[in-house]
């Protein structure tokens, strides 16, 4: 069985990909299970050396990864090249982190006894990743899982199997056969993987799909990252480059990022200025020149449906500049929606496109209430020259990650995770290792020899 692959830059068919069904998924999981004792039995140092080799293979084949990622997502090389570099860095980071992780309390905590804590891998981890960051999201999930001693079976999104398949090929060389396996396919493939004999499921995707994953996992550990709808609180004294920074962050990856700014909230006194400045900044960001297309026809229809259903009084769109031959791609311009109700579809839903809504509040308390007034709680930002006020607001916002005078600034050392409808669990940082481990307390009574 094959699925048709489409180039989002042109809208034309670019090839096909296999669709794994029950026998293929079962075989992949069984092979990962058979490989598990050898992989988990390696010392952290030996696992780290193999992961370092995988990072090197990613770097040495960066051009191939960039080409594959561009074919599946339509992203410009300036974006894909940076993401490939981050992927190599992530494998190196976790190769080192697993050797340096600290344990909870240990020692003679009970009289006459010595205790310590072992961190053990969970086993076989099923990973399901989305189409917006096919390679990077795979690395966010797979790198800590592998470093912790698990084997992984990973399912890429139906429209973007390219880079994960290449990563699995390089993993076979660097880590060993069946330590990291890719099973391409559709939604049914993902359901089969979740229901297979895996010990944990790590899923990144929509809230509805996440609820389905949790139900199918049937009590096994699940790590869920289910999207966002990030507010950006812009105060009247925001830095001069705020509008440019927000427009660039909103259009990076065509806005198809769970943590991208989506809802600009300012005070009434600054509302007209904010709309004017955001519209001007958006006009400087051209689809086709500065950022890529939406990923697939379904996402295009969903995006257009939200925009059409919006009751915004002002719909301010920039232009598009596709290259020759790309006129039929899934391009949508940077867009600002203003004068809209607080329950507008473009406000309460995760739009997942190059679009910012603009709302106003009477005071800071009302602004925070607006920011926290949607089910998602993944990321947020505050823009002000007043450091004290900015830090206070960043702390008050209900989000797993908050920025001050910046947005989408992330690194391997800092954790990323959601709350509420955005799911639970932690990506990035040493904390993510514990997503894929479980602690075992060992206590020994000290008995003296005769």
- Is residue 330 a contact partner of residue 8, using CB atoms and an 8 Å limit? yes
Burial, 298: exposed, middle or buried (Cβ in 10 Å; 0-12, 13-18, 19+)? exposed
What is the DSSP code string of 118-170?
EEEE-SEEEEE--SSSHHHHHHHHHHHHHHTT-EEEEE--TT--HHHHHHHHH
CA dist 130 and 170 (Å) reads 21
Write down the catalytic residue from 142, 250, 258, 285: 258
Which residues have C-beta within 8 Å of that of residue 259, sequence separation ≥ 6?
A: 228, 230, 378, 379, 401, 407, 408, 410, 416
Residue with tokens 């980071």: 93
Cα–Cα distance for residue pair 83/75, rounded to 1 Å = 11
DSSP, res 323:
P
Non-local (6+) Cβ contacts of 242 within 8 A are 234, 277, 383, 405
Closest CA to 143 of 86, 100, 192, 59: 86
**Alpha-carbon dihedral of residues 173, 177, 182, 183, nearest 10 degrees?**
150
- In this structure, what token pair is assigned to residue 234? 């812009």
Quote the CA–CA distance of 331 and 429 in Å, as a whole number. 34
Length of the chain: 450
Give the whole-angstrom CA distance, residue 241 versus residue 228: 24
258 is catalytic: yes
Catalytic residue, chosen from 79, 83, 158, 225, is 225
Cα dihedral angle (200, 185, 224, 52), rounded to 10 degrees? 70
Question: Does the CA dihedral 403-407-408-413 come out positive or negative?
Answer: negative
Inter-helix orientation angle 62-73/77-100, to 10°: 120
Go through 96-105 and write b for each residue having 16 or more CB atoms within 10 A of its CB, e for each that does not.
bbbeebeeee
Active-site residues: which are they? 225, 258
């Amino acid at each position: 069985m094959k699925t048709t692959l489409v180039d989002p830059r042109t809208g034309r068919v670019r090839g096909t990909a296999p669709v794994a069904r029950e026998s293929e998924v079962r075989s992949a999981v069984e092979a990962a299970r058979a490989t598990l004792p050898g992989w988990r039995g390696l010392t952290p140092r030996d696992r780290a050396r193999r992961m370092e080799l995988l990072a090197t293979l990613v770097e040495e084949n960066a051009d191939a990864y960039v080409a594959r990622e561009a074919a599946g997502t339509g992203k410009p090389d300036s974006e894909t090249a940076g993401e490939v570099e981050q992927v190599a860095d992530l494998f190196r980071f976790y190769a080192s982190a697993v050797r340096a992780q600290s344990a909870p309390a240990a020692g003679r905590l009970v009289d006459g006894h010595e205790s310590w804590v072992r961190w053990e891998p969970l086993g076989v981890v099923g990973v399901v990743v989305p189409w917006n960051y096919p390679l990077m999201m795979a690395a966010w999930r797979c790198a800590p899982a592998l470093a912790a001693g698990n084997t992984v079976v990973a399912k890429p999104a139906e429209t973007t199997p390219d880079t994960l398949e290449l990563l699995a090929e390089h993993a076979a060389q660097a880590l060993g056969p069946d330590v990291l396996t890719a099973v391409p396919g559709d939604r049914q493939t993902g359901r089969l993987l979740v229901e297979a004999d895996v010990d944990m499921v790590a899923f990144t995707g929509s809230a509805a799909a996440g609820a389905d994953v949790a139900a199918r996992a049937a009590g096994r550990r699940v790590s869920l990252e289910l999207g966002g709808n990030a507010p950006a609180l812009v105060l009247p004294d925001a830095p001069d480059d705020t509008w440019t920074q927000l427009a660039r962050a909103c259009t990076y990856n065509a806005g198809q990022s769970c943590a991208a700014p989506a809802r600009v909230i300012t005070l009434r006194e600054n509302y007209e200025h904010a709309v004017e400045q955001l519209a001007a900044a958006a006009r400087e960001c051209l689809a086709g020149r500065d950022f890529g297309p939406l990923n697939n026809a379904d996402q295009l229809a969903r995006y257009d449906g939200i925009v059409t259903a919006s009751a915004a009084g002002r719909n301010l769109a920039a232009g598009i500049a596709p290259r020759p031959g790309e006129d039929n791609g899934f391009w949508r311009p940077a867009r600002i929606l203003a004068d809209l109700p607080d329950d507008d579809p473009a406000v309460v839903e995760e739009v997942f496109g190059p679009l910012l809504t603009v709302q106003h509040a009477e005071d800071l308390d009302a602004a925070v209430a607006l920011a926290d007034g949607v089910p998602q709680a993944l990321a947020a930002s505050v823009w002000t020259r007043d450091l004290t006020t900015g830090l206070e607001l960043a702390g008050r916002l209900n989000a797993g990650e908050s920025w001050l005078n910046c947005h989408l600034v992330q690194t391997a050392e800092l954790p990323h995770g959601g709350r509420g409808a955005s799911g639970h669990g932690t990506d990035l940082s040493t904390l993510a290792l514990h997503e894929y481990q479980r602690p075992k307390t060992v206590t020994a009574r000290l008995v003296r020899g005769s």
